[in-house]
Structure 1
């Protein structure tokens, strides 16, 4: 039960509506943890010209899987990933779509870090390293194995989360809807494509089941 509680406390909260990333491409500056598409073959997602590596995509996808499974267990149920989230869309398809949109949004706002003069402080870096330590020490071993990520890569991912939050906060300083509106415009002007490694991610094997709650 301890591992389930940790997942519920520490997991990413996926509250964004079920949307996709759309068309045409744009050029963005890269920032901490972002990838040059021309120099890396491990890119799982091309978000408007910014590459997202497979290990990062696995982190978000499988953390989402674990979060939803832990929540369902708290309701004394197992989630059926093949069942309909809504008509014609399974829970697996729906959650992967939410994860993809979340990744797109993060990459977009991270690309604006220089424009909005966002940098991480020494204190931020210490907090990130502490969060990474917590992940490896407190997370379920099955989840850690599925994600299969190195410590330094997870540090970079957590840094991007903080950068995104700061940029969005700056964008919203005079208008609470400004970041949402900017992201909507970005989606209309950019193409997002997913490679084979994204398609290979599935939730066929549960990370948590009711048996884990006993």
Structure 2
């Protein structure tokens, strides 16, 4: 058995946006006199749009519907991406390098509007055969839905696919779907120890990824 396709996460792997997401969402809830709960940031990493907007509305207490919260926050994020896209150094090159050998998919917790904007700004619209948002599947990460669907649309069994992930929920999602998991831990928001143990390979930088490294995972 060998790796035949690769599925990338977006936030924390291609673009370094976790701090941007936290800044935007903290500022947003503060406008309504609310604060993050102790576990809010960790819980939202990997959640789909309906899930994190529901958390902010119902658990944090923002007095808006989840749909309104999502529209508010996504609008602010889109504006940030237009003015400054925080690409992770070496990420575009890594995508191109792996794409020269493997069919690629993207499985992201970001909304479709943000995925499309990032790929256009980064010049990667042609790099992925399949792009999926968790808002387009029944459940967000850590459920395996988005990875199952990405592999299905690529035409490969999960067992011959590798996932590149950074967050606890992302690692759990890919592992639950049966992919070989590559962890690229974020320096500020590292994954939980139990999630990291699910990885077949841990690298410190996405630039370490090569077709040879990924191809040797199985």
Instruction: Name the TM-score, length of structure 1 as normaliser.
Output: 0.30
When Rg is computed on C-alpha atoms for both structures, the one with the higher figure is 1
Q: Which has the higher contact order (CA 8 A, sep 6+)?
A: 1
TM-score, L = length of structure 2: 0.30
